Structure 1
Amino acid sequence: MSNKLILVLNCGSSSLKGAVLDNDSGEVLLSCLAEKLNLPDAFITFKANGEKHTTSLAEHPDHTGAVEALMVELRAHGLDSKIGAIGHRVVSGGELYSESIVVDDDVIAGIEKCIPLAPLHNPAHLLGLRAAIDIFKGLPNVVVFDTAFHQTMPEHAYTYAVPHELYTKYGLRRYGAHGTSYRFVADETARFLGEDKQSLRMVIAHLGNGASIAAVSEGKCQDTSMGLTPLEGLVMGTRSGDIDPSVFSFLAQNANMNITQITDMLNKKSGLLGISGLSNDCRTIEEEAGKGHKGAQLALEIFAYRLAKYVASMSVASGGIDALVFTGGIGENSNLIRSKVIGYLGFLGLTEDAKANEDARFGNAGVITTAESKVKAVVIPTNEELMIAHDTARLTGL
């Protein structure tokens, strides 16, 4: 075990995820998930040594209470004195940050400045960050931005075709997300394939309840599907992905819906859930599709079709494609989705190896195309927490 462990925190508006990692081995020594924060029945669940237990946060049902409970748990396991630094996931750093950074007052002000770009996420990150600074006194804190990896996108990729003053005045442009995952997976793909990352043209699909895709060449992001917000791009669990903007005026005029209602519908009631009428969980959709449920079958087909179209378009941004990479909960585990996508992309020379595709699940990496395939499709499990831990250790000298 390393003498200096890294605590990684990821705060949502009503949740807090935490993990203590050995940066050298990648081993997770303790993890936690606080849920229902700011509600009377808030609680936190800890996992260590293969065992779980849950603690009520009723007395302090907020982010600070969750971090305080985490400190108590760390002491109980004798880990509190071994934490060397804390790494934080932050969704948006806008154009201010193109890499991870050690936290100071200026960085906190910068995260606050980016709140309009991530109004649900950045305020929660700040709550967790301030709680960590207060409770883990004296420890350095590092923030790792989801948007940072995408700051290498060229201007023609991130600019919307709207009056340019909306960008100069308000920062209206494409920022992307899942950047920490993409950075980890790009490195891992090159290592797994034994290729030089600088010469490997990759299209990486991060598929989960939130889903996006990115083009990577010369080791840098050239384009990605998410935009100003995580709503743009692929079909997701509850998000619509790309849609005609005129849907707002259409629904306002015909369904008497206002902007807030339409935005809520597109973010929380659409995607796999909206199409199937069943669930946002791909596992449930696949199970019901196998039983003949038409809505579930249609949801899977639209998900795969739209993803395949994006793979082809991202190949333009990457200047060609050597490797199609699947990652994230769906990308790593749904051989059905992968098979459908590869089937749509046969014209690019991809040929599925069905047995390899079946085997590449539940944390197993693998090439899932045949030796004759002109493009390699590969499954690479992501590990955003480890990427954050690596950045935190590097920037704090651990």
Structure 2
Amino acid sequence: MFVDRAKIYVKAGDGGDGMTSFRREKYVPKGGPDGGDGGKGGDVILKVDEGLNTLLDFKYNRHFVAENGKNGMPKNMYGRNGEDLIIPVPPGTMVYDNETGRFLADLTHHGQEFVVAKGGRGGRGNARFKSNKNRAPEFSEKGEPGEERELRLELKLLADVGLVGYPNVGKSTLISRVSKARPKIANYHFTTLKPNLGVVKVGDYQSFVMADIPGLIEGAHEGVGLGDEFLRHIERTRIILHVLDISGSEGRDPIEDFYIINKELKKYNPRLAERPQIVAANKMDIPTAEENLERLKEELGEKYEIYPISAVTGEGLKPLMYRLAELLKEIPHPVMVTPEEEEVVIRPDFVEEEDIVITRDDEGVYVVSGSKVEEKIIRTDFNNPAAVKRLLRILKHMGLYDRLREMGIQEEDVVRIGPMEFEFIEDSRL
């Protein structure tokens, strides 16, 4: 089964908690803090595997969770980092954030990796907080949660030559004759319901990949027939091989077919009209073909190379394949294009922390937001009084109390920071 779209949920591993511990050794009555740091959570990584050509695996497995980091241990021993989770994807996979619709990555070559969810940092053990003022810190940090997100994957096949044309013009027969691809072939429309890839060998040392794109018809760019399902696969091809039923056996005019299909390609993506295109006049074994071939040459001969062939008998296939191989030496791989200009997201390792933002909701709760202050909440162990007291000192140092007073906060008013809610109490001891 060929699947070229999928939605998956990914969750990176949480960081391990730091350890609160003190040395307990014989003859050392006041051993210092020795709690180790927690390990980092595992990342979720997409990695290109050239052995894949479909997103079928994601039809049955849609949840991916990386390993959590281990907690810190006594004697300054760090917790083990969580194992990264590597998810293999086929070449040509486009990655989007499903919630925002943002384009994240274009994965094209074997071995290419992209981190789609970063593991949480491990919490620091109490040994890291020892200072001249506090020689025996009784608190440590909790690990940071790993990133989680829903992704949309879209596959755009990587092929050197893409076959386009109306249904029943002989594309499947052609690719079956020149490669080892074995598509389903029958005399009715839309026999091909999925793209077929075949490797064409030319001589002893050269080969190229050919893709049989399911038949297009008028209105394909708007979803008529199977059009919008498969037009995207043409975008990466270096050469378009336009296959025509030159015999007119389906009751259509091959010249009119040529213009209709090219119109659909242009409407889907104007840059496809600039892609090199060769015309394969197929079904030359049918008597009516010769007359139509002359008309085709008169109409298109000055702009396009036309090769009369018969996919059934094999007539003309060898010179056509050699010509395609010759052209491919001169044509670079196209820059990836999409129907709309994509906004590429560059996610740097360091992002400047935003200022604290304070608002009031409909219930009068003071809502505090900001990545830095929310991180402090997440990494605090609220079951440890010493850790909570440290958090309150940090919030005061950040100027949060003064900001709240300026907004008119009163004793016992509720303050919400991230997932936690607090009652505001003035305490001069902080």
TM-score of the superposed pair, with normalisation by structure 1: 0.25
**Which protein shows a greater Rg?**
2
More helix by share: 1
